[in-house]
Amino acid sequence: MTTFTTNPVSLHTLLQRCEQGDIKLPDFQRNWVWDEYRIRSLIASLSQAFPVGALMTLKSSGKTFTPRAIQGAPAPAEAATESELLLDGQQRMTSLYQALVRQAPIDKIDVFYYFNIEMALDTSVDREDAIEALPKDRVLRTNFGKDIVRDLSTPEKEYEHLRFPLNQVFDWDRWQEGFWDFWEGDKAKRDRFKLFKDRILEAFKKYQVPVISLDSSTTNEAVCLVFEKVNTGGKPLDAFELITAMFAGKGFKLREDWAKRAAALKKFRALEKIAPTEFLQGIALLHSKAQRDAAEGKEDRPPPVSATRNALLALPVEAYQANADRLQLGFERAAKFLHTQRIYRTLDLPYQSQIVPLAAILASLGDRWEHEQPKQRVRTWYWCGVFGELYGSAIESRFAKDLVEVLAWIDGGSEPSTVKDASVRASRIRELRSRQSAAYKGVNALLMKSGATDFRSGQDYDHAVFFDESVDIHHIFPRDWCQGQKLHPAAFDSIVNKTPLSAKTNRTLGGVAPSKYLNRLETANPPVDPANLDGYLRSHAIDPARLRADDFHGFFAARLDGLLDLIDDATKRPALRDVPPAMEAAPSGHDPAPPLDQDDGGEAESENAVLADDAALLSEVR
């Protein structure tokens, strides 16, 4: 259980501890980013004794996070060994340290802050307006630097202009002595500074900040959760950030290692969105599987295979180093596998998450992956996951089960849960309209994998053709024609009425009836032979006679059956062929809503620039 204390601590003490290195940042904290406006607003609030929020620290004793000093702190702060880690409050504390303590311009914006004493004492003036920023030479200029507006480059000039430097706010005695000497004969000026000191400077001296201090017994997972909760305004902290900090404490630079691996993996278009946490999940799977295998027969309850955040946070750096190379190869083999299934880019991935167990399985198989039996079983498992739509939730537990069960199945064991759990219904395929659906993308890939050829060119959609010809998913009975016939969008926007086509072919089809666009193809220059065209249509599981007759309902029923045959073959399990309802016309006056996937009209993206690189990489993997 996490324990904590809450105590008020003087602002001056906190800033001194930052300078001494007693308070540091955990390495997973992101950089300081506040701008001049936010710093001035914070200082103005402090000068009026307004609350500016609590800090949260973690006692670092026993923790493996690598600490770093507050930005701008001197070298001794970096070298200090014992420290508390600042989990919440970095932007405030760094801004205040640089503005109120450090005797140098504020980083990035290169300014010093001053109080205009007279304006600060004027209650009608907004306190922020009484805070002035001067450039690092402390001379404010105008007219492109030609004219001097105010020169505060010496203490005497500060006294003359009644400008108090904010980096003296906790050590104003010496400045006051100089000020009084400068205005020795002017009691009014000396009284104004005394009033300023009592009203403004004393507010800084007395200011107390609530500090929530987490005990060193706080787990790494709890640190991660707490950090996410208190940093709601920024990017959520993921396990990769924490593990980066922990590994740094062991002398391993995880961020640099991942950057090199990510650059290699993202050359494969299907792996462009691989996240560092997904790679760590693969490492956790391989590591925990090895631990379980080592404990088999020796322990009553061997440790579980796991890819949860707890498992990630418990990873030793040695586990990463031992498994990273073969997991990277596993991801590269996964890219090759996806290409053989006609999945070429991230946009067309049914499930991004399913790549993690796929890569772990292929990494575990090693050279055995070259044999046909493992390939066939991995294919079946993959498509069962896609069409069973089993990777949409609770994915970490399925990762672990699939790694163990698929490898056991390849070795002669029983079918994995993902294969047993897969269930496909005709009614589900019929209703697929969104490109975000895994099964929708799966149907498109299966059509290309099964040998679908372009209506116009007769070309197979291999890797080169796919990118050169900008192949994408398009309507078979065009949307405009279907709307003119008052067909229901639930029917004509279904995946059953869509197929992969090149951009040029899709433009040729236009929005006319199929019988008309087929005639266009047969009379084009060069023309498409009708017998060949019928063959092209059949390769898409389309009945040519139904298409030529503009028989949407007959076409739809026959094609749904043909798509189910493809899915049956991919999953090695029969789909439930529940009887579809009649494809009714849209109700009178119905204005069909556009489908979720705006895919008609040549919107496929061109990928020519990466074709050569992808082909070369695939050759290397093979």
**Residue 245: pLDDT band with limits 50, 70, 90:** confident
439 and 393 part of one domain:
no
Assess whether 277 and 412 both reside in one domain.
Answer: yes
In a domain, 364, yes or no: yes
107 half-sphere exposure, CB direction, 13 A CA radius: 15
475 shares a domain with 405 = no
Phi then psi for residue 443, to 5 deg, are -60, -45
Whether residue 63 is predicted with pLDDT greater than 90 in this model: the reply is no
The pLDDT-based confidence of 3 (bands split at 50, 70, 90) is: low
Angle of helix 317-340 relative to helix 611-621, nearest 10 degrees, comes to 110
The model's pTM is 0.69
Q: How confident is the model at residue 61 (pLDDT cuts 50, 70, 90)?
A: low
Q: State the pLDDT confidence band at 79, using cuts at 50, 70 and 90.
A: confident
Q: What pLDDT does 591 receive? A: 41
Count, residues in the chain = 622
User: Percent of the chain, pLDDT > 90?
Assistant: 67
Instruction: Give the pLDDT mean for 380-386.
Output: 97
State whether 264 and 351 are in the same domain: yes
pLDDT of residue 592: 42
Residue (of 551, 456, 533) closest to 500 by Cα position: 456
* pLDDT bracket for residue 226 (50, 70, 90): low
Q: Is residue 138 part of a domain?
A: no
Confidence check: pLDDT of 525 > 50:
yes
H helical segments located in 301-371: 309-313, 317-340, 355-365
Same domain, 409 and 454: no
Taking residues 484-511, report their average pLDDT. Answer: 93
pLDDT (mean) for 415-423: 95
Residues forming a β-bridge with 140: 150
Does the residue 130 lie in any domain? Answer: no
Q: State mean pLDDT over 448-476.
A: 93
| 595 — pLDDT class (breaks 50, 70, 90) | very low
Is the pLDDT reported for residue 603 higher than 70? no
Amino acid occupying residue 450: S
Domain membership flag for residue 177: no
pLDDT band for 194, please (50, 70, 90 cuts): very high
Per-residue pLDDT band for 64 (boundaries 50, 70, 90) equals low
Q: pLDDT confidence of 138, banded at 50, 70, 90? A: very high
Q: Are residues 413 and 272 located together in one domain of the fold?
A: yes
Instruction: At 419, list the tokens.
Output: 């294969």
The per-residue pLDDT of the chain, averaged, comes to: 87
Statement to judge: residues 344 and 259 lie in one domain:
yes
117 to each of 41, 123, 156, 164, 172, how far by Cα in Å?
17, 12, 15, 7, 14
Tokens of 25: 């940042």
Mean pLDDT value of segment 33-56 = 90
**Residue 182 pLDDT:** 95
Indicate whether 615 pLDDT > 80: no
Among 364, 292, 281, which Cα is nearest to 315's?
281
- Residue pair 268/329 in contact (Cβ under 8 Å)? The answer is no
**Residue numbers of the domain that contains 405:** 239-422
Q: What does the pLDDT read at residue 348?
A: 95
Q: What is the pLDDT of residue 613?
A: 39
The total domain count for the chain is 3
Residue 408: predicted pLDDT: 97
In sequence order, which residues have a C-beta less than 8 Å from that of residue 521 and are 6 or more positions away? Answer: 455, 456, 508, 527, 528, 533
Please give the backbone phi and psi of residue 472, each rounded to the nearest 5 degrees, phi first.
-155, 180
More confident residue, 173 or 232: 173
Same-domain check for residues 438 and 487: yes
Q: What is the mean pLDDT of residues 310-328?
A: 94
Q: Residue 460: helix, strand or coil by DSSP? A: strand
Q: Can you tell me which residue has the tokens 């772990």?
A: 360
The residue-averaged pLDDT of 38-45 equals: 93
Q: What is the pLDDT of residue 5?
A: 67
Q: Cα(622)–Cα(619) distance, rounded to whole angstroms? A: 5
Give the pLDDT band (50/70/90) at residue 227. low
In a domain, 144, yes or no: no
Instruction: Name the domain boundary from 387, 422, 457.
Output: 422
Residues 484 and 600 in one domain: yes
Distance, CA of 177 to CA of 179 (rounded, Å): 5
State the pLDDT at residue 602.
Answer: 33
Least confident of 13-27, 205-219, 355-369, 497-511: 205-219
Question: Is 509 a member of any domain?
Answer: yes
d(CA 555, CA 553): 5
Residue 382 has pLDDT above 50, yes or no: yes
Indicate whether 126 belongs to any domain: no
Q: State mean pLDDT over 262-291.
A: 96
Q: What is the pLDDT of residue 2?
A: 52
Q: Please check whether residues 407 and 341 belong to one and the same domain.
A: yes
Residue 499: strand pairing partners? 474
Q: What is the pLDDT, as a whole number, of residue 228?
A: 58
370 by Cβ neighbours in 10 Å (0-12 / 13-18 / 19+) ranks as exposed
- Give the DSSP H/E element, type plus range, for residue 218: none
Structure confidence at residue 581 (pLDDT): 52
Residue 500 falls inside a structural domain: yes
Cα–Cα separations (whole angstroms), residue 295 to 30, 121, 273: 40, 74, 35
Same domain, 415 and 432: no
418 and 432 assigned to the same domain: no
- What pLDDT is attached to residue 155? 95
Please name the amino acid found at residue 117.
Answer: I
Residue 606 predicted with pLDDT over 60: no
